Amino acid sequence: MRRLVAILAGLVLVALVVIGLLQAGGGDGGASSRPPFDLTAAQRELAGAPAPLAALHEQSATLLGGGRSAFRRRLDQLKGYPVVVNKWASWCAPCRTEFPFFQSQATARGKQVAFLGLNAGDSSDPARRFLRATPLPFPSYVDPKEAIAKTIRAPANYPITVFFDERGTLVYVHQGGYRREADLAADLKRYLGQ
């Protein structure tokens, strides 16, 4: 009888481990199954984008200052294009999980949609290290006290993704991290028609 209980307990443990691995991204197209992102290849793929979007691609994986006024000027320059703003921090585990989805979608859609990062509540050195290890094909604005985040109605939690239509109107705020790239792609289609 003890042996049977031990075998059953072992099977339950194995089942829990397998379920945990699948939920962590091991079978649903999660970031762990992806090859490393190649920023140079992404920039080649984005070549020929309209000038306002090409200007973003030229600033790939950089942190930009200037605060609210610089961010607002950039949004004004992007009128005519849908804009996706992803608020992230280097210490945020869900942010790290969804970064590959933004790498991929920004590369695939970056000739029609503007992507911007918003590095909020973070320190510059860890943020720069993180962007070197996990580059984005678009820039991120530095927002240590979340002044920019407040102007675009991005709540204080992380990550947050804000969608603006081509007129610059806020159309959707996604709270929390994307667990699958397909969910981000679905929101791009649903809210921006892309």
The reply to whether 12 and 50 lie within a common domain is no
Count of CA atoms in the C-beta half-sphere (13 A) of 85:
30
How would you write the pLDDT of the chain (194 residues) with one tens digit per residue? Answer: 666 444 544 443 443 333 333 333 433 444 456 788 999 999 999 999 999 999 999 999 999 999 999 999 999 999 999 999 999 999 999 999 999 999 999 999 999 999 999 999 999 999 999 999 999 999 999 999 999 999 999 998 999 999 999 999 999 999 999 999 999 999 999 999 98
Distance CA 118, CA 15 (A): 39
The reply to whether 24 and 107 lie within a common domain is no
Q: Tell me which residue range forms the domain holding 6.
A: 1-33
What pLDDT is attached to residue 2?
A: 63
The reply to whether 95 and 174 lie within a common domain is yes
Element (H, E) at 66: none
Structure tokens at 64: 């930009």
C-alpha distance across the termini of the chain, in Å: 60
pTM reported for the whole predicted model: 0.82
What pLDDT is attached to residue 84?
A: 98
The reply to whether 22 and 110 lie within a common domain is no
The reply to whether 41 and 29 lie within a common domain is no
The reply to whether 28 and 41 lie within a common domain is no
The reply to whether 63 and 143 lie within a common domain is yes
The reply to whether 66 and 155 lie within a common domain is yes
Distance CA 141, CA 56 (A): 11
* Overall number of domains in the chain: 2
Is 107 strand, coil or helix? helix
The reply to whether 20 and 63 lie within a common domain is no
Q: What length is written for the chain?
A: 194
